[in-house]
Amino acid sequence: MIRAALIALLCLVAAPALAQTPPAASSPETARATTALSALWRPIASLTNAEIASACGGAAEEVEAVEAALPPVLTPDSLARVRTLRGLLIIPTDEPGVSYFFPDMSMPWFTAGLGDIGVIDEAEGFIGVRDAEGHEFALQIGRAGERGILRFRDPENRILNFVACAPTVAS
């Protein structure tokens, strides 16, 4: 259901959004990065099992809630108002390197909507992301056991750590 809503969304807003931010070059590396980022990422303070379990509680339901909150008229402005409750929701489009980003309210500097993904250094897990307003961020992705781990610096130079809680792409 998310995929159908996002395909409709892509048809309505892809042209204006992509005119503002050119899509990342399509490559196998970009496709892998897009797939790796496609999840609801919840903030964590440590990598303990208890912390991860607590962070990921209700993640699948939150993805459904964001889907339900999508506005009836999909424009870059209406998408910019959609936020998750906790963390960062990244939903891929059919085009590698282009995804929808929905951050929570603690990240007002990250504009929700259609954004771009590009690989900086695949071996080190560095991925570049451009949000819907063209702000660029360098993210690092890795794994802790079975879970994806994401980290990046906010504009105040604080390191933010996230755990992948609910995938948004079929395996």
pLDDT for position 125: 95
Query: Considering its fold, how many domains does the chain have in total?
Result: 1
pLDDT for position 136: 96
Q: Are 115 and 99 in contact (CB under 8 A)?
A: yes
Give the count of beta carbons closer than 10 Å to the beta carbon of residue 60.
Answer: 13
Interacting residues of 87 by C-beta distance below 8 A, sequence separation 6+: 40, 41, 42, 43, 55, 103, 104, 162, 165
How far apart, in whole angstroms, are the C-alpha atoms of residue 154 and residue 16?
27
Name residue 171's amino acid: S
- What sign for the dihedral angle of Cα 170, 166, 102, 159? negative
- pLDDT tens per residue, range 47-89: 899 999 999 999 999 999 998 888 888 888 998 889 999 999 9
pLDDT for position 20: 35
pLDDT for position 84: 93
Owning domain of residue 45:
2-167
- pLDDT tens per residue, range 116-159: 999 999 999 999 999 999 999 999 999 988 899 999 999 999 99
The answer to whether the pTM exceeds 0.85 is no
Residues 33-44 have a mean pLDDT of 97
